[in-house]
Structure 1
Amino acid sequence: MLRYILLLIIAAAIQFSFAQDTWIRVNQLGYKSKAKKVAVWVSKKDQPVKTFVVFDAKSKKVVFEGNASRPFGAYGPFVQSYRLDFSAIEQKGEYIVEAGGVQSPIVRIGDGVYDGTADFALRYMRQQRTLFNPFLKDSCHTHDGFTLYAASIGLPDSTRIDVGGGWHDASDYLQYATTSANATYHLLAAYRDFPYAFTDYKQANGLSGANGIKDVLDEAKWGLDWLLKMHPEPHMMFNQIADDRDHASMRMPGEDPFYGRGYERPVYFIDGKPQQRGKFLNNTTGTSSTAAKFVGAFNLGAAIFREIDKSYSETLVSKAHTAFNYAHKKLGVTQTVSVKSPYIYAEENWVDDMELAYATMFKQTGEQQYLEKALSFAREEAVTPWMIRDTANHYQYYPFINLGHYELAKSLQGEQREEIIAYYKNGIAEVWNRAKQNAFFRGIPFIWCSNNLTVAFAMQCLWYQDLADDATYAELMQANIDWLFGTNPWGTSMVYGLPAWGDTPVDPHSAFTHLHHYPIDGGLVDGPVYTSIYNNLIGIQLHEEDEYEAFQSDLAVYHDDYGDYSTNEPTMDGTASLIYLLSSQESSHHVKDEYGAVVRGNSDKKHVSLVFTGHDFNDGKEVIERTLRKQQVKAGFFLTGDFLRNKENHDFIDKIKKIHYIGPHSDKHLLYAPWEKRDSTLISQEDFLKDINDNYVALAAHGIRKEEAAVFMPSYEWYNHDIVRWTNAERVQVVNYTPGLRTTADYTYPQMGARYISSDKIFEQLLQTEDEKGLNGHIILIHLGVDTRREDKLYNRLEDVVKMLKSKGYEFLRIDEVI
């Protein structure tokens, strides 16, 4: 102990002198228990670091001592850097890494650190919807659009065509078929590969309400529906809606009267030839790149919807065939169109798209000819070109990962399968040769949208590991994931609002945030760019003092500033790719509701969690404590400040705190949101934080520290996105009972009429639910006390409930063991 005290004293003295020169960068979201865990120590002074320690953030006890890596030397703004590997720590908890006189932010470890993140990022996709926007609960771009370049098929310029729908591409409101098809494919693949990562809390239109379909599949179908409109006939396919004239001003996504046709926007036909509006001419050479992406999305969608909606699946199959023919109309690449600025999606490769098209056609038809042709296209572009270069033009090689290799490899055997897997390995090796030179293991070029490349590369490492059963690049994959969430020179997450308690973008290049302060939850921003690129871009001007000035360098820059569209603009397709990556990292550990509250534990495990809430009624406390003690089961108690301060309850609290979890339930049992309009908030963030912190003060009076009570059940079990976000920012997790159970109706009494449910009925419903669906992972809520007008108290049946669950083989977990 004395050694550790001396260590802290020395560390504090060193940290004082190095506070502005030295940092430890970590993944703010956290690390899975079995994953590689590496922090990066960086300094503006050439200070040697030999060892480091990791201590428990709660107990302050040192749990690991390790040796630092070799010195990696200068990188970006730093003159020295080290990697600190603490992978040996697998125990769930919160920790702090300390080395060279500085400490890291809190590090979370646990299998569930990524849980709910994929659904969180889906919020941004819904917010990017056009035609009907569920975030704004309003419609936009309902008049799209008028055709251009389609005269060769009998559609003179300015012919009206219905192409409403899809997603806005970024913070402007252009829409591109190429990025939308790629995004749709990623969402479909996420559902196919990791369905357990997603929930069903939204309708098809994006508004609240389950519809029996996972929300990620609803979102993918939104993309498919638009792609169908963009390919209305076998001889018709369109590439984009609107153009850079849309950049004229920042505004909400209402109608755009910039194109000389009122509220209609131009729709660009794919004719396989260079197209020009104004003085800029793109380098289109054919129809393949966009049309082939349609094929991949349609075929994967058809496979997934085959058992859900047979008619829709058949439509997608038909459209896949006509899009496949369109891809062969003129082999080559289709680029986007720009009118006033020189910036376009300058895609140059297309054989990767054709490989995906052929691979998915083989899966759809089983015809060998498609497999053989897919293999020939794979050989034409074995490695995605950006991986062997340190720079590239904007979207020059797109998608940033070869999707076709993964789909093709799964259909091959023997030497051919090994050949395709080797293509992935060769690309990874190219990046690794650059990455191993620096402490961040950064080998991704800092071109525009570098974060999109980072996500794609992490996916390639994941897919290689899966196909080859080879974990050689596991640490490199993790380094790229860590980069996105704070293990980078700037120490910031690149995803808006994730994690809620971390340093994340707050001033992105987005009209939603800039004009109305709407959160763009889950949006992946572009990411850092080479300083040489940044210095040559048109129209960038920072609006605020640069909080990351100390971390900018001649190598690369990143600005959390509305004025920097090159590094801080969120993109729809990048976020869709991120959703796949995040879903791959999630466990089936627990289930969250649409607001982010945990409402169920691991459904694969036969356990339940009993929870009790207490405010002004306390008549059942003794019966409950005695029953739990007799039956030797653990439970959780959520108590208001008023309950905790009531002297009548003090002996009871002293008894239960030795065994059971005790956490906050609001200090004054406030109603945070209206019953009839849940997405509104009745309390300010300042008042909410005062309420919950007053609750913690009351808990502290009973010797219960906040660190021990970091699970919160809101009063009335009623909350919304604001409450969950504000709570998460305090490093506290919101929980609620599992929907569908009626034990919460134990507060009702006969005078309530039809709302009253007897304890017998409640018990019967619990039995029925267990019999029909099982109660694995269920959080079962009972009140500590109820109104005197209710004579049949459910807590008097608690022993029956416990015995019944035990007889069915259920284990009882404390609620903090569920999280």
Structure 2
Amino acid sequence: MKEKSICQNTLLAQPKHFLQHFLVLILSLSSTLPFAHSFDYGDALSKSLLYFEAQRSGHLPYNQRVTWRHHSGLTDGLEQGVDLVGGYYDAGDNVKFGLPMAYTITLLSWGVIEFRDEIAAVDGELRHALEAIKWGTDYFIKAHTHPHVLWAQVGDGYTDHLCWQRPEDMTTSRRAYKLDEENPGTEVAAETAAAMAAASIVFRGTNPQYAQLLLHHAEQLFEFGDKYRGKYDSSIKEVKGYYSSVSGYRDELLWAALWLYKATHNITYFDYAILNAESFGGTTWAIREFSWDVKFAGLQTLAATLPTEGRDKEQKQILQQYRSKAEHYLCANLNKNNFTNAKRTPGGLLYTRRWNNMQYVSNAALLLTVYSNHLRSTDQTLDCQTDSVGPTKILSFVKSQVDYILGSNPMGLSYLVGYGSAYPMRVHHRGASTTSYKDDKVFVGCMQGYHTWFGRHDPNPNVLVGALVGGPDKNDEFRDKRVNFAQTEACTYNTAPLVGIFAKLHELEKGSSSNTIASASLPLLSFI
């Protein structure tokens, strides 16, 4: 008998097209009230931070809140004589991939840098955000064993994907892969440098010694990645098919340079981003996606927020070129370019491709929210080809995307697992889909996991709270099946950008509900 999706248990998921069209109409009308009450963003923030605890590898701390997880990967690096215990699993498997892990920490740090006060306003969550970042940066410190050596991966995707085992039961290869002068990997070195530089800003006020240590590693890693240039998937061939670098490493070099400049105010890094702006594609690539691989839109947005005061004519011109490309991306997402706009589903969700589309949605939402803050603080508007858009209208669109994620969609389903009353129950995730190791320590073998747990029709025994799954297809349809990993697998870099966004929307929601939004210079119906 064909598995019945949880989505089919809701009225709006029935094949009655008029209901779907009616809901889409209601959603579009409600989005014109940008801060009208809708969702509990504070609760969504709390749940999003829980997800990172579920993804932890290593020896779990005493205050671990996701209690169905236990210690794992305790011998990582042992064969190579290096301590690589810790870090994060990227998704539903048990491999530690360095590039997406570093990118996750960069995005988490950016959210805290921009929205620290808003996160702190949700009781206890700033501490949890800092812990999530530090779990990653502690691992990067271990992995950077020499100025020109970075351990970039633990585990092998091929053997790992042949097994369905809890991380606590792993019998697959835990081989570690390193980058060095003979085996360069500029993307991972530069992204890890960006992550540690951004995190150093986060910890500067509360843990200055740790922040300085992070900066020390970040500068060494940037020098390593820049001096010994090479694509990391040429040095670590085992990563091909999982996290191949399609965009190359030039975007990561510019991205890292800008983060190092923000962290150090060392003009050398600013000059690097200016001198290499054109040759590395920073001011020439007009992009419509931002992801763990393609960083151009992110670095362009970062450059666009830098002050121009005190710059010479050429520097101002290049910063303006960065800004132009950043605004092309932002306007494309807002559907305000003449031709090159981002696609959307009938229900209004940004749509890039069928494989884990939600990563592009949440990543875009972060850049839009950050730039909205920048425009408000500098009293500017975003001038697109078809319209000028103010910060309030940008946040209104961000809210529409977040509300879609949380349940305002044709399926009536929250794609943030554990939030609301209806969400994916069969997430493609080894640990969540198998009985908790703490409840049942009986060893689960490689193929036994597939036969006993992967193929079950029942919901997962453990809820992967805070995970943002791949999401619906181009027609807003979603099949809640473990085998449907394009839609039901979640990744750390899906949820990471939401932390800051949830905090920002929570602040606006509080202001709206208490009639204080005017005092925050955010008039409820202003689309300026």
Structure 1 residue 338: Cα displacement: 6.4
Report sequence identity in percent.
Answer: 18
**Does 2:257 align with 1:257?**
no
Asked if the contact 1:165–1:226 (Cα under 8 Å) also holds between the matched residues in 2, the reply is yes
User: Are 2:428 and 1:509 equivalent residues in the alignment?
Assistant: yes
Superposed, 1:347-358 pairs within 5 Å as 347-349=245-247, 350-358=249-257
Q: Aligned residue for 1:103?
A: none
Q: CA deviation at 1:416?
A: 4.3
Counting only pairs closer than 5 Å after superposition, residues 718-797 of structure 1 correspond to structure 2 as: none
- Could you say which structure has the greater relative contact order, defined with CA pairs below 8 angstroms and 6 or more residues apart? 2
- The residue type paired with residue 505 of structure 1 is P
Letter in 2 for 1:238: W
Q: 2:56–2:87: 8 Å Cα contact kept in structure 1?
A: yes
1:317 to 2:215 alignment: yes
TM-score after normalising by structure 1: 0.49
- Tell me which residue corresponds to 1:577: 497
Q: Kindly state the Cα deviation for residue 88 of structure 1 after the two structures are TM-superposed.
A: 6.1
8 Å CA contact 1:272, 1:332 repeated in 2: no
Matched, 1:198 2:119: yes
Query: Is the contact between residue 358 and residue 371 of structure 1 (CA under 8 Å) also seen in structure 2?
Result: yes
CA offsets 1:642-667 (integer angstroms, 9 cap, x no match): xxxxxxxxxxxxxxxxxxxxxxxxxx
CA distance in 1, matches of 2:21, 2:156: 40
Q: How does 1:3-42 map to 2 (within 5 A)?
A: 20-24=16-20, 40-41=24-25
Native 8 Å contact 1:192 1:304 kept in 2: yes
Query: Contact 1:446–1:528 at 8 Å: present in 2 too?
Result: no
Q: How does 1:605-754 map to 2 (within 5 A)?
A: none
The CA distance in 2 between the partners of 1:403 and 1:238, in whole Å, is 25
Tell me the distance in 2 between the aligned counterparts of 1:444 and 1:19: 22
CA contact (8 A) 1:383 1:427 kept: no
CA deviation after TM superposition for structure 1 residue 193, in Å: 1.7
Secondary structure of 1:162 counterpart? coil
Task: Quote the Cα distance in structure 2 between the aligned partners of 1:589 and 1:129.
Answer: 31
**Structure 1 residues 187 and 89: alpha-carbon distance in aligned structure 2, compared to 1, 3 A threshold:** closer
- CA-CA distance at 1:21 after TM superposition: 2.8
Matches within 5 A, 1:351-500: 351-379=250-278, 380-382=280-282, 387-388=287-288, 398-399=293-294, 402-413=297-308, 415-431=317-333, 432=335, 433-435=340-342, 439-468=346-375, 469-470=380-381, 472=389, 474=394, 476-488=397-409, 490-498=411-419, 500=420
Indicate yes or no: 2:226 matched with 1:242. no
Where structure 2 has 5 or more consecutive residues not aligned to the other structure, the ranges are: 1-10, 309-315, 383-388, 436-460, 518-528
**Structure 1 position 410, deviation (Å):** 3.1
Counterpart of 2:56 in structure 1 is 129
For residue 323 of structure 1, report the CA deviation from its aligned partner: 0.6
Q: C-alpha separation between the residues in 1 aligned to 2:21 and 2:49?
A: 27
- Measured against aligned partners, the alpha-carbon deviations of 1:331-374 in whole angstroms (never above 9, x if no partner) come to 243239565x9722122222222112211222343332321211
1:187 touches 1:576 (CA, 8 Å); kept in 2?
yes
Report the 3-state secondary structure (helix = DSSP H, G, I; strand = E; otherwise coil) of the residue aligned with 1:327: helix
Matched residues in 2 for 1:384 and 1:510: separation?
Answer: 39
Runs of 4+ in structure 1 off by over 6 angstroms are: 383-386, 588-591
- 3-state SS, counterpart of residue 497 of structure 2: helix
Deviation at 1:404, TM superposition (A): 2.5
Higher normalized helix content (fraction of residues): 2
1:567 corresponds in structure 2 to: 487
1:588-639 per-position Cα deviation (integer Å, ceiling 9, x unaligned): 7779xxxxxxxxx99x99xxxxxxxxxxxxxxxxxxxxxxxxxxxxxxxxxx
SS of 1:132's partner is: coil
Number of residue equivalences: 444
> Aligned letter for 2:322?
I
Inter-CA distance 213–84: structure 2 relative to 1 (3 Å threshold): closer
Q: How does 1:212-291 map to 2 (within 5 A)?
A: 214-244=127-157, 245-259=159-173, 265-271=174-180, 286-291=184-189
Alignment of 1:142-181 (within 5 A): 142-146=74-78, 158-181=79-102
Is the alpha carbon distance of 1:372 and 1:25 closer, same or farther for their aligned partners in structure 2, counting shifts above 3 Å? farther
Q: Residues of 2 paired with 1:243 and 1:437: CA distance?
A: 35
Greater percentage in strand: 1
CA distance in 1, matches of 2:397, 2:111: 22
Residues 587-598 of structure 1 aligned to structure 2 (within 5 Å): 587=507
Shift of 1:489: 5.0
1:507 CA drift (Å): 1.1
Q: CA RMSD in A?
A: 3.7
1:525 aligns with 2:446: no
2:69 touches 2:431 (CA, 8 Å); kept in 1?
A: no
Q: Distance in 2 between matches of 1:564 and 1:384?
A: 37
C-alpha displacement of 1:227: 0.8
Q: Distance in 2 between matches of 1:138 and 1:90?
A: 42
Distance 1:269 1:335, change over 3 A: same
Q: Which has the larger radius of gyration?
A: 1
Post-superposition Cα deviations, 1:196-248, rounded to whole Å, max 9, x if no partner, equal 3435999xxxxxxx7x9621011101111001111122121011110121123
What is the CA–CA distance in structure 2 between the aligned matches of 1:235 and 1:90, rounded to whole Å?
49
- Do structure 1's residue 113 and structure 2's residue 40 form an aligned pair? yes
Partner Cα distance (1:384, 1:200) in 2 = 40
Asked if 2 retains the 8 angstrom alpha-carbon contact of 1:239 and 1:270, the reply is yes
Question: CA separation of 1:415/1:309 partners in 2, compared to 1, >3 Å: closer, same or farther?
Answer: same
Question: Quick one: structure 1 residues 273 and 442, their matched pair in 2 at CA, closer, same or farther if it must change by over 3 Å?
Answer: farther
